Amino acid sequence: MDACYTAADHKEENHLGITSASVLAAWAQRLSVVFGHVRKACTGYERRRQQRMDRDAFLHLLSLDDVMLDDIGVDREELLWAANLPLQTNAALVLAEVSRARRKTA
């Protein structure tokens, strides 16, 4: 027997005419789909974890007093509004846009 044996070399058929190579190919395709779903779930988990970490860092701004918030160009009302945005929204970017627009009109 050759050392480079592959599933394609195995051509035995069962009583239905199905080769073991075709069974292996079907299982390989199914496993590929399953691993694709697992990879997608892990990527989603990591994205959600990073969003949670970003939001936690953003929420630290709530501990600052109003003078410090004014120094960085935001007010508490804007900050509280941005803190309640959906997690997948980057609250810091939205807050920057809102406070920039407020300062332009003021």
Tens digit of each residue's pLDDT (9 = 90 or more) over 19-72: 777 778 888 888 888 888 888 888 888 999 999 999 999 999 999 999 999 999
Q: Is the pLDDT of residue 5 over 60?
A: no
Tokens at 66, concatenated: 């109003």
Q: Is the pLDDT of residue 9 over 70?
A: no
- What is the four-CA torsion angle of 61, 62, 66, 69, rounded to 10 degrees? 20
The pLDDT confidence band at residue 18, using thresholds 50, 70 and 90, is low
Q: Is the pLDDT of residue 82 over 90?
A: yes
Output 10 or 95, whichever has higher pLDDT.
95
> What confidence score (pLDDT) does residue 41 get?
84
**Are the beta carbons of 95 and 79 closer than 8 angstroms?**
yes
Q: Is the pLDDT of residue 1 over 50?
A: no
β-partners of residue 13 are 19
Residue in 105, 74, 106, 103 with CA at minimum distance from that of residue 91: 74
Taking the C-alpha atoms of residue 46 and residue 48, their distance in angstroms, rounded to an integer, is 5
Residue in 87, 61, 84, 85 with CA at minimum distance from that of residue 74: 61
The pTM score is 0.57
